Amino acid sequence: MAIERRKNNFQPDWLGKTLAAVFPGLAFAFVCVGFYAWYGPGDIHSGNKTQFHMWLFTPIWLGVLSVVYLFKSARQAWLTLGSITVLLYAVFFLLRSVA
């Protein structure tokens, strides 16, 4: 009985969850790398930091792609990833305008 209830908690909407990981997840990965690029150690143009940014992007996005299936529904995945992404972009641009 408990197993049946637990199975019903997750909706198998894999297409909606995958699209949530692709679009807001992509923007989430970009803003995470942007935070590291601008506010991480060293200058944004220092040495091989640009190459590291390119390689840092992939594990972040793949992490989002793998975690998105733990959401109960595609709607929850879209709302959570979308709101976190919008919030991070707002903080990023606020900090960029102040500095």
Domain boundaries, the chain: 12-98
In tens, the pLDDT along 42-99 reads: 777 777 788 888 899 999 999 999 999 999 999 999 999 999 999 999 999 999 899 6
The span from the CA of 98 to the CA of 18, in Å, is: 36
pLDDT at 5 over 70: no
pLDDT number for residue 12? 81
pLDDT at 21 over 80: yes
CA 49 to chain CA mean position, Å: 21
